[in-house]
Amino acid sequence: MDLRVINPNTTAGMTATIGAAAERIAAPGTRITAVNPDSGPVSIESHFDEAISAVGVTEEVRRGEAEGADAYIIACFGDPGLLAARELTRAPVIGIAEAAFHVASLVSTRFSIVTTLGRTGIIAEHLLASYGFTGHCRRVRAAEIPVLDLEENGDAAFERIVAECCRARDADNIGAIVLGCGGMADLTARISDAVGLPVIEGVTAAVKLAEALVGLGLQTSKHGDLAFPRPKPFTGRFADLSDTRYE
Amino acid sequence: MDLRVINPNTTAGMTATIGAAAERIAAPGTRITAVNPDSGPVSIESHFDEAISAVGVTEEVRRGEAEGADAYIIACFGDPGLLAARELTRAPVIGIAEAAFHVASLVSTRFSIVTTLGRTGIIAEHLLASYGFTGHCRRVRAAEIPVLDLEENGDAAFERIVAECCRARDADNIGAIVLGCGGMADLTARISDAVGLPVIEGVTAAVKLAEALVGLGLQTSKHGDLAFPRPKPFTGRFADLSDTRYE
Amino acid sequence: MDLRVINPNTTAGMTATIGAAAERIAAPGTRITAVNPDSGPVSIESHFDEAISAVGVTEEVRRGEAEGADAYIIACFGDPGLLAARELTRAPVIGIAEAAFHVASLVSTRFSIVTTLGRTGIIAEHLLASYGFTGHCRRVRAAEIPVLDLEENGDAAFERIVAECCRARDADNIGAIVLGCGGMADLTARISDAVGLPVIEGVTAAVKLAEALVGLGLQTSKHGDLAFPRPKPFTGRFADLSDTRYE
Amino acid sequence: MDLRVINPNTTAGMTATIGAAAERIAAPGTRITAVNPDSGPVSIESHFDEAISAVGVTEEVRRGEAEGADAYIIACFGDPGLLAARELTRAPVIGIAEAAFHVASLVSTRFSIVTTLGRTGIIAEHLLASYGFTGHCRRVRAAEIPVLDLEENGDAAFERIVAECCRARDADNIGAIVLGCGGMADLTARISDAVGLPVIEGVTAAVKLAEALVGLGLQTSKHGDLAFPRPKPFTGRFADLSDTRYE
Amino acid sequence: MDLRVINPNTTAGMTATIGAAAERIAAPGTRITAVNPDSGPVSIESHFDEAISAVGVTEEVRRGEAEGADAYIIACFGDPGLLAARELTRAPVIGIAEAAFHVASLVSTRFSIVTTLGRTGIIAEHLLASYGFTGHCRRVRAAEIPVLDLEENGDAAFERIVAECCRARDADNIGAIVLGCGGMADLTARISDAVGLPVIEGVTAAVKLAEALVGLGLQTSKHGDLAFPRPKPFTGRFADLSDTRYE
Amino acid sequence: MDLRVINPNTTAGMTATIGAAAERIAAPGTRITAVNPDSGPVSIESHFDEAISAVGVTEEVRRGEAEGADAYIIACFGDPGLLAARELTRAPVIGIAEAAFHVASLVSTRFSIVTTLGRTGIIAEHLLASYGFTGHCRRVRAAEIPVLDLEENGDAAFERIVAECCRARDADNIGAIVLGCGGMADLTARISDAVGLPVIEGVTAAVKLAEALVGLGLQTSKHGDLAFPRPKPFTGRFADLSDTRYE
């Protein structure tokens, strides 16, 4: 299967990090194509960054459709453009936040989230509520690390994340920790070793869930609200989207 | 005050309709500027349309900031880009769906929503949950009218909406009806007369809530998760957003 | 418009304070009439005080109806008698707790409440749940000030409220603070300046929401459970309510 | 034990009906004193009726305290003045709606409510939410009978209630039915026989719960928000409440 | 009435403790038969212990049916086998956790739970959610005492429980405390005296609720999902359950 | 990997059906061992059947541990003994109900469940609430087929299930259907073809989720409430469980 891993931000280094993590976990038959949009923010740390990045996500899905992708992963913890992406394809589309929540709830009864910047915690809270996991999450914590520090300042970032994870382990009455940033994908094993309980990271979780859905022969429902968008004119910089017919 | 009414789709006729409805309800001191982005879909009837339209919403807010707008309304029932827009300004930003829900809950204990296409009902359900109104809404109904039919085929659309509203009135055990599309802004009074209970429409509701917030001297909180976005590079078609400093 | 601001307690000084705050914020066309019942508690600090005060609220609404009031505000943070009052009139009726919650949710994603006595926190919790704002409120805090100290001992009260608000700002992960007592109406600006984030006070919020509803031409629904009460005999001290026909 | 059964309305016939039902179910050691306030509505069919009736409920509790009552029942399905009454005494106070919900959830997994007038259904919905039983109740139904018809027009009322109960039994996927009016207290056995599943009525349920609490030696908590009200002046018709010290 | 108090674990000493507590609280007409299964764990401190103990609970209910029991109590705070037991009989069946929650909510607005081992807190959380009391419980606390220490090491256990209850009283903003283990049944009065607010223990609460249901003539509904199980073959060690017909 | 598929009932034919469905969907590296306990009910159609079957589930997990199983599936839609099983092993354990809910929520926004007997619908409702999917499920429907009819009377059962699925598709405003019985595992493809929207069946879903968790190297958390049970004596028919030390 051709699994398209979309990094919604435009930092190629992070795309490579995410892609490598995906390849390490992928099944033999899974071909990982890690991509990022040409256009968008270099990191996603606000509702605004997220809104802009959603356009790039849909662009990459449309490109994937042309190239015959079998499934898609949206590799930003806010799952930007998730439902929009699902409308554009019959292939499964999975966000790394939802993937992490689903998986964490299968190996523990309660978990906490450790994310980068506190200001993005509200995004996690909204996703927990929308997906149904509010009751499973004890607390959303932040290590207060700018996303790109994960690339540029890895050791210091690692230490801060581990320290916050240990606080969660000791104070939150949990069984597992969810890492709240795609950029942490390569740190998971080291963090888990350091913290001593299951640490779930969304990119790897999403790869395996995508393989699961494809293996089940399940596709995104086209019955009801995830049906293909009705073709219509778009204007200006989005004119290229006009009257597209999706199949 | 300068109230910027942003129609997130690019149909000028609908922008005019919305603007006229806003002007009819605006207080003497309120100057309505009805705008729509240059770029985006001609109507918003899916998660995909909504995701694309959010970019235009943020563009119009940035333009408004340059021009000194005092408040903003997002005049699409999905409230596209609402939190992103709030990050970009100290001025109040109000979505017409949230406005309608708030107002409906002040004049009734329970309401139903009558929207255009059934496939967009899920968007309303998600907003009700996110804003806290799930318990106040009895049912989300659809008249199954494409949005632009409100412009091009007004009488037939009116009849279908009234028919659905009457079904809601008679079956749903409600006190009020919320109209689920900005394009219905000019029909509210006629619908209310025909149906015989309070009918709340979001554009007009949002104008009065925006006047209320400005009158209170309240601004969007910059303490916490609605703080201005951190400046950073954007690439490609969004390069113009790079390193913007918001105040 | 004639806006009747009902202080449910019988302390004329607080009625004056509330009325003055309402007048400062009211639009030019809004005539504020601040009233309190002849009968009731001098302050409302318990479920019992609140139950008694609800009678006075309904008395003031009935008086307002005779005098042609256009809207009503119930200026106690427990919103005593709110639904009863709505049954008695077609005019909008707004409680200051609900007004504050609605407004706070439009300028922040999460807020905390700072009220007077801890024992009244449960009233705020019940209102948050009933109105749908439980998920928006991080914490209900109390400065442990008897209500009348706001009148009689203003500076000390102010200091305690500011101190509690600062604790909320620093610990609660919020964007705004809601003041939990009508008697704080004249302190809002000073508190907001001292605390440095949006501080929402219910009396002023309710004035602007009442103006908004009247501006929209919306009235309390008489379809369903807020219909006028069925006329019937009342006995004893309430005999004067017998067989009243409401229009 | 002296169990004070308070009928919040002032219809002596209904007080007698309720008292007789309570006596039939009471344990040998339980002395039932069925009372109603001198002042209040002859029936409770609206939020307004309920607000007024709450005063009478607190008056009867204060009288009961003077006379040494051991427990109280508030025999109207809206539980008017419940928390206020609890503040006034160490004795247990039970509302018939809460009693019926608690008991119904012990003999079935889901129940429906059959009440008198549809307009009062919202009161039941609010109580279900406040007490935590929203998930246990499938549907709130109304037989559309004015409360006093239960006294004056018993056979016709009985037929309508049974018919609605049978609809609930056949359509609602339930195990039990809760009767939503204290005036139905004498009909329970006949209704249950006619409908063929457990029918729970609040007055009888509350008598047994009150006996249970007294038997347990449990009293209303005075730690926290149900502590006795702080003494204070009351004015006008409520001056008699001034500076009362509760013990 | 013959009230069967089933201790789901097989420690006779705890059965005696529970039985004695039940007898002390039982009404004159109530004959307490305290039993425990022949087969099962000596204490219940995990989901596994609970699953095994549920079999013994159903065995004791079947024995009780043969002997004509009028009601049953499941005297373990996880309420193991509660719904299964209800299917097997028309008699009321009450779990001590649900009993404690119901009673606590009648004498306070909010409570905390103090249980034995932290690992069992999740069981209490699940029950609170299933029964509808999540909103009433502030916090689930553990004294970290193995269950049998209550038998073997009573004084030390008592001190730890009181210490945890005092922390709950001082920190949790509650009106009552629920004891989270049947083995604490004989300590309730002493704990309550030491802590100074209402302390609810499930065995005693369940005895009075069982008497209440029997007094009401209410039985477990056989309409719907608590109907008697369909007779069918069972194999192996459960062959004795085959083709049983329940009445 | 050695994936143990546990059919909690003792009908070998159903175990074979479930095992065959699991093998068809399993990845090359996955060895399916379909088992059922020696002891238990021939079908699970009630809370009682479920409670008894949980013992057999734990027995099969203990056997699997001795034999080195890598993951477990509990192949009954009530997920009997799920948390108990998780305590007994570090290996992942997945219930087919939870598996189906998770997967359905990844390919649709809302789903309905079609189960066998109406009386088991309450079990699905409890699981939806416990797992967080109440908001995702529109309706729980029953085809009213005894479980073993799926084995003995397949064609008639198939027709009834398809008919109910079509009613769900046409009336429930859903994107997918969840089949509510492990015995339907071999019918999924035919049902999906007949109904025309994604149909999710739990056995196959659980196989792929188990492969996903093993592929991720994730194990059931032993930090907190899923830690191995404390060794202790068991009596009578469960004496063989005494003092077991789990690793």
Smallest Cα distance from E194 to chain C, Å = 23
Percent of chain C with pLDDT over 90: 87
Q: Do D122 and B135 touch (CB under 8 A)?
A: no
Q: d(Cα F183, Cα F165) in Å, to the nearest integer?
A: 16
Interface size between A and F, measured as CB pairs under 8 A: 145
pLDDT for F244: 86
In this structure, the answer to whether residues A88 and A147 fall within a common structural domain is: no
Is residue E184 domain-resident? yes
Smallest Cα distance from B24 to chain C, Å: 10
Q: Angle, nearest 10°, between helix axes B96-107 and C202-215?
A: 100
Instruction: Flag if C110 and A122 touch (Cβ within 8 Å).
Output: yes
B53-85 burial by CB neighbour count: b if 16+ within 10 A, else e?
bbbbbbbbbbebbeeebbbbbbbbbbbbbbbbb
C-contacting residues in E 127-186 (Cβ below 8 Å): 135, 173
Q: What is the DSSP string of A112-163?
A: EEEES-GGGHHHHHHHHHHHT-GGGEEEEEE----TTHHHHSHHHHHHHHHH
Q: What is the mean pLDDT of residues E233-243?
A: 93
Alpha-carbon dihedral of residues E195, E200, E202, E208, nearest 10 degrees?
A: 140
Confidence of residue B113 (pLDDT cuts 50, 70, 90): very high
CA A22 to centroid of chain Cα atoms = 12
- Closest partner residue to E54 (CB to CB) among F40, F54, F224 is F54
Q: Is D67 in contact with D50 (CB distance < 8 Å)?
A: no
D135–F129 CB contact, under 8 Å: yes
Residue A110, min C-alpha distance to chain E (Å): 9
Q: Considering only CB atoms, which chain A residues are within 8 Å of F105?
A: 131-132
| Residues D168-179, mean pLDDT to the nearest whole number | 97
Q: Which chain D residues are within 8 Å of E110, Cβ to Cβ?
A: 224-225
How far is A184 from C37, CA to CA, in rounded Å?
62
Give the chains touching C; criterion: ≥3 Cβ pairs < 8 Å. A, B, D, E
Residue C247 falls within a domain, yes or no? no
User: For residues E113 and E137, is the Cβ–Cβ distance under 8 A?
Assistant: yes
- The total of structural domains in chain A comes to 2
Q: Over 80: is that where the pLDDT of E151 sits?
A: no
Beta strands D40-41; D71-74: pairing state: unpaired
Side chain identity, residue C115: T
- Triad A188, A100, B120: Cα angle to 5°: 150
| Whole-number average pLDDT of chain F | 95
Query: DSSP class of residue F228?
Result: P
Q: Which residues of B touch A47 (CB under 8 A)?
A: 83-84, 86-87, 225-226
> Is the predicted pLDDT of residue D247 greater than 80, yes or no?
no
**Per-residue pLDDT, F146:** 83
SS3 at position D91 = coil
Using DSSP, state whether C52 is helix, strand or coil: helix
In this structure, the answer to whether residues C195 and C218 fall within a common structural domain is: no
Q: Of E49, E12, E21, E81, nearest to E202 (Cα)?
A: E21
The residue of chain B with its CA nearest to that of A57 is B51
Report the CATH number that the domain containing residue B119 is assigned in CATH: 3.40.50.12500
Give the model confidence (pLDDT) of D109-152 as tens digits: 999 999 988 999 999 999 999 999 999 999 999 999 887 887 77
Q: Which of residues 40-99 of E touch D (CB under 8 A)?
A: 83, 92, 94, 98
Taking CB atoms and an 8 Å cutoff, what residues of chain B touch C178?
A: none
Q: Which sign, positive or negative, has the C-alpha torsion F67, F73, F78, F83? A: positive
How confident is the model at residue D203, as a pLDDT? 97
> Is residue E183 within 8 Å of E152, Cβ to Cβ?
no
Quote the strand ranges of chain F, DSSP E. Answer: 2-6, 31-35, 40-41, 71-74, 93-95, 111-115, 137-142, 176-180, 199-201, 234-235
**In terms of residue numbers, what domain contains E148?**
97-201
In a domain, C246, yes or no: no
CA within 13 Å, CB half, C165: 29
Q: Do B91 and B101 share a domain, yes or no?
A: no
| Contact (CB<8Å) D135/F121 | no
- Considering the domain boundaries, does residue A20 fall inside one? yes
Convert the pLDDT of each residue in E31-87 to its tens digit.
999 999 999 999 999 999 999 999 999 999 999 999 999 999 999 999 999 999 999
pLDDT confidence of residue E16: 96
Residues F101 and F86 in one domain: no
Q: What residues of F are in contact with residue B129 (Cβ under 8 Å)?
A: 135
DSSP reduced 3-state for F33: strand
| Tens-digit pLDDT profile for residues C97-147 | 999 999 999 999 999 999 988 999 999 999 999 999 999 999 999 999 887
Check contact E-C (3+ Cβ pairs < 8 Å). yes
Alpha helices per DSSP H over E135-187? 149-152, 154-171
Please check whether residue E14 lies inside any domain of the structure: yes
Which are the contacts of B236, defined by CB distance < 8 A and separation ≥ 6? A10, A37, A38, A39, A40
Supply the angle between the helices C202-215 and C12-25 in degrees, to the nearest 10: 50
Are the CB atoms for B36 and B7 separated by under 8 Å?
yes
Read off the pLDDT band of D154 (50, 70, 90): confident
Look at residue C165 and tell me if it is in a domain: yes
Q: Hey, of B109, B133, B169, B172, which one would you mutate to test binding to chain D, going by the most D CBs within 10 A of its CB?
A: B109
Q: What is the pLDDT of residue C203?
A: 97
Least confident of A148-152, F73-77, F224-228: A148-152
Whole-angstrom distance, CA of residue E58 vs CA of residue D85:
42
Say what the pLDDT of residue C240 is: 92
Residue A62: count other Cβ atoms within 10 Å of its Cβ: 18
> pLDDT digit of tens for each residue in chain A (247 aa)?
999 999 999 999 999 999 999 999 999 999 999 999 999 999 999 999 999 999 999 999 999 999 999 999 999 999 999 999 999 999 999 999 999 999 999 999 999 999 988 999 999 999 999 999 999 999 999 999 887 887 777 788 899 999 999 999 999 999 999 999 888 888 899 999 999 999 999 999 999 999 999 999 999 999 999 999 999 999 999 999 998 888 7
The C-alpha of A118 sits at a distance from chain C's nearest C-alpha, in angstroms, of: 9
Residue D203 · residue D75 · CB < 8 Å = yes
- B154 has a pLDDT exceeding 80: no
Element (H, E) at D115: strand D111-115
Tell me: do B20 and B84 sit in the same domain.
yes
The whole-angstrom distance between B167's CA and the closest CA on chain F is: 17
Instruction: Assess whether C153 and C189 both reside in one domain.
Output: yes
Q: How many CB atoms lie within 10 A of CB A196?
A: 12
* SS3 sequence of A20-75: HHHHHHCCCCCEEEEECCCCEECCCCCHHHHHHHHHHHHHHHHHHHHHCCCEEEEC
Q: Has this prediction a pTM greater than 0.95?
A: yes
Chain E residue with minimum CA distance to F50: E84
Could you tell me if E228 lies within 8 Å of chain D, comparing CB atoms? no
Same domain, D172 and D137: yes
Instruction: Give the Cα separation of C19 and B107 in Å (integer).
Output: 24
Spell out where B130-239 has E strands: 137-142, 176-180, 199-201, 234-235
Size of interface A-E (CB pairs under 8 A): 5
Q: What is the DSSP letter of F37?
A: -
Chains D and A touch (3+ CB pairs under 8 A): no
- Angle in degrees, CA C27, C28, C30, rounded to 5: 65
| Mean of all residue pLDDT scores within chain E | 95
The answer to whether C149 touches C216, Cβ cutoff 8 Å, is no
CA distance A2 to chain B (A): 23
| B120 contact residues in A (CB cutoff 8 A) | 225
CB contact under 8 A, F122 and D135: no
E106 and E19 assigned to the same domain: no
Grade residue F184 by pLDDT with cuts at 50, 70 and 90. confident
CA-to-CA distance for F220 and E180, rounded, in angstroms?
26
Which residues in chain A are contacts of F204 at CB distance < 8 A?
216
Task: Specify the amino acid at residue C189.
Answer: A
Q: Which chain E residues are within 8 Å of D133, Cβ to Cβ?
A: 132
C148 — pLDDT class (breaks 50, 70, 90): confident
E21: nearest CA in chain D? Answer: D216
Burial classification of residue F25, based on how many CB atoms lie within 10 Å of its CB (0-12 exposed, 13-18 middle, 19 or more buried): buried
Question: Does one domain contain both D71 and D105?
Answer: no
* Mean of pLDDT values over F192-203: 96
Chains F+C touching (3+ CB pairs under 8 Å): no
* Contacting residues of C for A122, CB less than 8 Å apart: 109-110
Cα separation, B54 vs B58, in Å, equals: 6
Q: What tokens appear for B155 in the block?
A: 């009488």
CA distance E57 to E73: 10
Tell me the β-bridge partners of E93: E72
**Helix or strand holding residue A175 (H, E):** none
Same domain, E40 and E107: no
Contacts of F164 (CB under 8 A, 6+ apart): F114, F141, F142, F143
Does E154 have pLDDT greater than 80?
Answer: no
Percent of chain E with pLDDT over 70: 100
Contacts of F118 in chain D (CB under 8 A): 173
Q: Are residues E51 and E28 in the same domain?
A: yes
Does residue F247 form part of some domain? no
The CA–CA distances, whole Å, from D195 to D154, D163, D177, D198 equal 17, 9, 9, 8
What pLDDT does D147 receive? 77
Flag whether D84 is in a domain: yes
C107 in contact with E at a CB cutoff of 8 Å? no
Report chain D's mean pLDDT, rounded to a whole number: 95
Sole residue written with tokens 């209303």: D220
pLDDT of residue E191: 94
Cβ of residue D108 closer than 8 Å to a chain E Cβ = yes
- Among B97-106, C177-186, D8-17, F73-82, where is mean pLDDT lowest? C177-186
Rounded Cα distance between D119 and D117, Å, is 5
C7 and C52 part of one domain: yes
Task: Please give the pLDDT value at position A191.
Answer: 94
